[in-house]
Structure 1
Amino acid sequence: MENRDKHALPVSDALGRPLRDLRISVTDRCNFRCRYCMPEEVFGPDFRFLPKEKLLSLPELERLTRIFVSLGVEKVRITGGEPLLRKNIDEIISRLGDIEGVRDIAMTTNGSLLKQKAQALKDAGLARITVSLDSLNDERFGAMNGRGFPVKGVLEGIDAAAEAGLSVKVNMVVQKGVNDQDIVPMARYFRERGHILRFVEFMDVGNSNGWNMKHVVPSKQIVDMIHQEMPLEPAEANYFGEVATRYRYQGSKDEIGLISSVTQAFCGSCTRARLSAEGHLYTCLFASNKTDLLSVMRAGASDNELRSFIAEVWGKREDRYSETRLTQTRPVQKVEMSHIGG
């Protein structure tokens, strides 16, 4: 186990928000072309992904994570692209999970390769996994993932993850007129199987997903729809900065979550930094600006220099895009979600 640097101190940004969570994209590659993330007409068959030498290596990932932990990070989430496309993903999980101070290591995946890799992920030390699934209907899901990938393949991955002993959550991005008819069937299905389903409001991440407010199904409406068949009651947050608002099915411990970045912005409690596959630090999911840590590191910066650099960037952070979205007077160029993993 690595020792936490006893001389480093946790940092907070300009709005008093601590740095607690680090989301690491280990690859920009993805085998899906989801409409809300990586639409085919923009990311076509000839799209050029990053060459291997541009990616953070395992030692670089380990080094940067250790530095982030010294600044207050306690939770690490592995993302992509699709993280299971990274060849040494189990070793990455093992090495990062061994860093003292990392209390929790999780992953977000589209689930397409999960059936084959679930046990290896668990053996490497992964504790929790979130699987993206937007419908139980093959036609709708195939259209949304842009590759015609069947629902069965993802459900088998979810089952394999649960059998391996991983804690499983499922994320459903809801779009009005696209898959909103699947809200209650999805809730029913995953309640019966004991997995927490989280409904994600369709967000304007990046610049290419055709976002419009009229395509958003507000979380309140989602709760009302489910409540009519399966009565719900509010549940308290598990911790400061929790992304999802929790609801419990009355008379049980089963629950759902709502990620309401559009209608109930939670910028005030955001503790998340994002590291892209090529080592760029983003301080917001909707960020326009980035900080190139990889170039600084490969130029020979010491750990102390990197730590001070990251602390300075976080200390100046004022991001609260979701709170100001509807007051924007001109389009803002933002990083694509496929690049930093949501």
Structure 2
Amino acid sequence: MSGAGSAGRTHPAPATIGDPLIDTHGRVHRDLRISLTDRCSLRCTYCMPEQGNEWLAKTSILTLDEIERVARIAAADGITTFRLTGGEPLLRTDIVEVVRRLARISGPDGTPVEVAMTTNGIRLPELLPALIDAGLHRLNISLDTLRRDRFHALTRRDRLDDVLAGITAAAESGLRPLKLNAVAMRDVNDDELVDLVAFAIDHGAQMRFIEQMPLDAGHTWDRSRMVTQDEILAALSARWDLAPLPGRGGAPAARWTIDGGPDTVGVIASVTAPFCGDCDRLRLTADGQLRNCLFSTTEYDLLPILRGAGQPHSPGAEVLDASIDGMLRSCVHGKLPGHAINDPSFLQPARGMNAIGG
């Protein structure tokens, strides 16, 4: 366990494979975000620098077999959704096979898991048919602006047409729900909120706005640049009648119907309206670190377990699986009540968003 000594490897409770992953605050964990790479085809200002990035060593990136092994244990412990993230997950050369392997996994009751993906959409036109055939269920696509000049300034790449082509391919595929994500930023794209929602509606998608969070690799986050949930709703209410939807559960986005529905808009207000009390997510980084919170400064290292570090012979399958299960439970056991962004003692994670996984 990085940053916490060897205590993280101590099993905190007498549980075994197949028991639910419940933390000390009673939250049952059902969602595992799996980062496949820290690399990306864009350089979004709120995520990573344009140059000088220190990429993860290729030898530290989890293999397909290692990802599948962790996922199978997680599913046995009650995880029902795997969300593939990055960086940009479509840059992984074996991405179709990753989806295929994970989509074949079932939970203890025989119900197949759901496989979702968050992507910038650039490679979707060429890969989406194969991904759907492999078992992909849902897509989230990032789209912060509809203006070419702004897109170039935000991402440092002139790829808006490619992203829009990916959204069109997703809309035509029939994968639903289809969600478009935008980070709302003051004096950057806050005058496009209505336009982005209208664009999403035209493509059969749900627009979701995200309050900007302190997860940029350069640690330049400025609270005053963040557009709050209240401001987002006020801007949208000038155009549409919004009504809150109940039954959010552990979902990160609160949702509102637009003019009575069926179209909806979501807001992920991690800063001004944290939903930590209902969080059911864990994260697995591309280099095998388990994280129990997006903002955690502690990680639980699975790589030595998966690769039998320091042992003359690899452990047997049962021992290996039990060790993975134990680390999952240690990670869950160490989860704090909330992320404490609004506490003066808050420390931004050392990793940027691209290395943590969205």
State TM-score, norm by structure 1. Answer: 0.92
The 8 Å contact of residues 286 and 334 in structure 1, kept in 2 or not, is answered as no
Match for 2:320 among 302, 321, 324?
Answer: 302
Identity of aligned residues (%): 39
Q: Secondary structure at the match of 2:152?
A: helix
Give the direction of change, closer, same or farther, for the CA distance of 1:47–1:248 in structure 2 (3 Å limit).
same
2:106 maps to: 100
**1:62 partner amino acid:** E
> 1:251 matched to which residue of 2?
260
8 A Cα contact 2:31 2:280, kept in partner: yes
Tell me if structure 1 keeps the 8 A contact 2:35–2:87. Answer: yes
1:194 aligns with 2:200: no
State the secondary structure of the residue aligned to 2:171. helix
Describe how 1:29-48 pairs up with structure 2 within 5 A. 29-40=39-50, 44=51, 47-48=53-54
- 2:325 matches 1:316: no
Matching residue of 2:9: none
SS in 1 for 2:282: strand
Q: Is the 8 A contact 1:79 1:340 kept in 2?
A: no
Residue 80 of structure 2: aligned partner: 74
The answer on 1:266 being equivalent to 2:278 is no
Q: Where does residue 288 of structure 1 map in the other structure?
A: 297
Partner in structure 2 of residue 224 of structure 1: 234
Return the letter of the residue paired with 1:315: H
Distance 1:164 1:326 in 2: 41
Alignment match, 1:88:
94
Task: Give deviations 1:213-258, integer Å, cap 9, x for gaps.
Answer: 10111111111111111211111235x2011000001232000100
Question: Residue 63 of structure 1 corresponds to which residue in structure 2?
Answer: 69
Between stretches 199-208 and 123-132, larger displacement belongs to 199-208
Of residues 313, 329, 332, the one that matches 2:345 is 329
Q: TM-score, normalised by structure 2?
A: 0.88
Q: CA-to-partner distance for each residue in 1:189-236, whole Å, 9 max, x for gaps?
A: 212332100000111125525111101111111111111112111112
Q: Kindly report which structure 2 residues correspond to 1:161-176, keeping only aligned pairs within 5 A, or say none.
A: 161-167=170-176, 168-176=178-186
- Residue 356 of structure 2 corresponds to 340
Would the aligned equivalents of 1:38 and 1:338 in 2 still touch at CA under 8 Å? yes
**Unmatched segments (≥5 aa) in structure 2:** 1-15, 309-314
Report the aligned-residue RMSD. Answer: 1.8
Aligned length: 330
Give the letter for the 1:296 counterpart: I
1:84–1:316: structure 2 CA closer, same or farther, 3 Å change rule? same
Query: Which residue pairs with 1:275 in the alignment?
Result: 284
Q: CA deviation at 1:136?
A: 0.4
* Partner AA of 1:105 in structure 2: V
Tell me the CA shift for residue 279 of structure 1.
Answer: 0.6
Other-structure match for 1:153: 162
The answer (yes or no) to whether the contact 1:169–1:196 under 8 Å persists in 2 is yes
Gaps of 5+ in 1: 1-5
Query: Which secondary structure state, in structure 1, belongs to the residue aligned with residue 238 of structure 2?
Result: helix
Cα gap change, 1:331 to 1:103, in 2 (>3 Å): closer
Matching residue's letter, 1:291: Y
